Amino acid sequence: MLSERYRVDELIGRGGMASVYRGQDLTLGRQVAIKILKRELADDSAFRTRFRLEAQSASRMSHPAIVRVYDAGEDSETDGDGTTHQVPYIVMELVEGTLLKDIVSDGGVPVSDAIRYVDGILEALAYSHRAGVVHRDIKPGNVMVTAAGQVKVMDFGIARAVSDSSSTVAETTAIIGTAAYLSPEQAKGEPVDARADLYSAGIVLYELLTGRQPFRGESPVAVAYQHVSETPLPPSELVDAIPRSVDAVALRALAKDPFQRYQDAASFRQALDATLDGHAPTKKQVGALASELYGANPRQAAETARSLRQLTADTTMRRTQAGPPAAWIWAGVAVLAVVLISVLIWVMTSRPGGAIPQNSRVVDDVVEMSWDRASEKLAAQDLQAKRVDQSDNQVAEGNVIRTEPIGGTIVAPGQTITVYVSTGQQRSAVPSLVGLSSTQAEAALKAAGLQLGAVTTRSNPDLAPGIVISADQTAGGQVSVGTRVNLTVASGKVALVNLVGYTVDAATRELSSESLKLTPKVVEDPSCPATSGTRIVAGQSLPPGDVPIHSTVELRVCSGT
């Protein structure tokens, strides 16, 4: 038991700073998660003070993408030798789900999932930064994903409590548990702001895409050095399926200079959303961006790294002498010269004459010409053009995608040439999604050739958790196949205010309002004296904050003498 209120049950997680237990709040009758700090931290009185203040600051934040902090306090524990020491703890919302670090432990995830997870992290950071709270320790181990796909970020403020109570950067890093997600300014021990969180979110995006962090080393110091001075490879250099539009976002997020990064979480989210519109920068543009941000040639770095990987992986070659004999070198040069001369002679003698025989035609290259122009050119060659319509995202509607046989092929007069003509980008009707569960909505989108985009939760007193309230595309509207549709779904909860001090009538009206639709229940409490005249609410069964829809809230009213 902690503070004669919280029962500590089984262990559900352990980290570098604390252990987390499933617990029960016996006063309010709800399950909670209880984080108990390790003894080496608990023995530091300065840390305990900072930890309590930061936990109180975090407890004021209420957002669907943030794990709620309900309470923070201290208890004491006596060892077998009679020594008493403090036990700082925090009480948090119990979230059923999977840590993001477990999701990414088997390698990278699909690009759409990576963007969705990071979008959820940025949604939480946008809220916390507006509240003046910088997380300082964004990493997959501090992010939960619920069964419904909701991203929840935890441990706000704790990293600041650690860093402000630690004497050195190395000590802070050891306590936090990893240097892999530190921003360059954190690695150098400089003051940090919200942009440090965005850098760490960029590291998480990189890891989700590629299955590895951009900087790895044998020690935390080596990794910290790379954060400060090394250029990361674009993610597409590691995974071919990653679009270069995502490369540009990741490189911008990982800029060494905070002023070259995204300046707020909203800008980062907008850039991620923009990667879904199908427009991708060229490899040259990505390289120019990397040069601007890191002052190095990313192509040369990539080629060097690739060559080193190939040489490292090749275990079949063994050098048996310092170098080849000079005779071998000259013999090799002679053989190469003979081969080149032979090829040149073959090319010269086998080259066809300039004139095409009367009974042959060379198919003109009509790719990207209009159908009318292409059919005219082929007809002028005594060739029959057969039109086949086909959707294509790159070639304009009405223009030729390709021909069979291809341009330059020699054919007989009168042969049929199949001409594939673009009908433009393939389109699909947006299905009706409102009222479906998030799982049903995702299945309906997939059946229509569309993708599930960002999922945002919102309070609705009438809808169960995960039910779609709205979509950013109109049902029945025609959109391009592959378009991501963002959904707003019900959280299954409403925000209850503190009703203590309200009159019973006012509290009842508030609970029964259209925005809450909760059930009030007045409970007489003879243990405290009744107020004269107007009846006042002295307590409520559910604490202020998010509560399940259709809940019954007991209003305690003093009725004693």
pLDDT at 310: 41
Q: What is the CA radius of gyration of the chain?
A: 33
3-class DSSP string for 413-434: CCCEEEEEEECCCCEEECCCCC
From 43-47, 255-259, 319-323, 386-390, the region with the lowest mean pLDDT: 319-323
Report CA-CA distances (Å) from 468 to 40, 436, 442, 465: 47, 6, 11, 9
| Residue tagged active-site, from 71, 137, 197, 546 | 137
Residue 121: name the closest of 85, 83, 151 by CA: 151
* pLDDT at residue 258 greater than cutoff 50: yes
206-224: per-residue pLDDT in tens? 999 999 999 988 778 788 8
CA pair distance 237, 244, nearest whole angstrom:
10
Q: Are 458 and 490 in contact (CB under 8 A)?
A: yes
* pLDDT at residue 139 greater than cutoff 90: yes
CA pair distance 520, 18, nearest whole angstrom:
39
Kindly report the number of other CB atoms within 10 A of residue 458's CB atom.
12
Burial state string for 390-416 with b = 16 or more CB within 10 A and e = fewer than 16: eebeebeeebbbbbeeeeeeebeeeee
- Report the CATH architecture of 494-560: 2-Layer Sandwich (3.30)
Instruction: Provide CATH 1.10.510.10 ranges for the chain.
Output: 97-299
Dihedral in degrees, nearest 10, Cα atoms 345, 349, 350, 353: 140
Instruction: Provide CATH 3.30.10.20 ranges for the chain.
Output: 361-422, 427-491, 494-560
Instruction: Provide CATH 3.30.200.20 ranges for the chain.
Output: 6-93
Place of tokens 């409970």: 523
Query: For this structure, is 137 an active site residue?
Result: yes
Query: How would residue 320 be classed by pLDDT, with cut points 50, 70 and 90?
Result: very low
Tell which wins on pLDDT, 400 or 317: 400
pLDDT at 330: 66
410-449: per-residue pLDDT in tens? 888 889 999 999 887 778 899 999 999 999 999 999 999 8
141-183: per-residue pLDDT in tens? 899 999 888 999 988 766 554 444 443 333 443 334 468 898 9
Q: Which CATH superfamily is domain 6-93 in?
A: Phosphorylase Kinase; domain 1 (3.30.200.20)
Q: Are 86 and 43 in contact (CB under 8 A)?
A: yes
From 338-352, 375-389, 415-429, the region with the lowest mean pLDDT: 338-352
pLDDT at 203: 96
- Candidates 3.30.70.1060, 3.40.50.300, 3.30.10.20, 3.60.110.10; CATH matching 361-422: 3.30.10.20
CA pair distance 482, 432, nearest whole angstrom:
17
**Residues whose CB is less than 8 angstroms from the CB of residue 219 and which lie 6 or more positions away in sequence, other chains included:** none
37-55: per-residue pLDDT in tens? 888 777 777 777 777 776 7
Interstrand relation of 552-560 and 519-529 (parallel, antiparallel or unpaired): parallel
Fold of 427-491: Trypsin Inhibitor V; Chain A (3.30.10)
510-533: per-residue pLDDT in tens? 999 998 999 999 999 999 988 888
Cα-to-chain-centroid distance, residue 88: 32
pLDDT at 34: 93
* pLDDT at residue 361 greater than cutoff 90: no
pTM value > 0.75: no
End-to-end Cα spacing for the chain: 35
Edge-to-edge strand list for the sheet holding 384-390: 384-390, 416-422, 400-404
Mean pLDDT over the full length of the chain? 82
CA pair distance 252, 246, nearest whole angstrom:
10
pLDDT at 175: 37
- Report the CATH architecture of 97-299: Orthogonal Bundle (1.10)
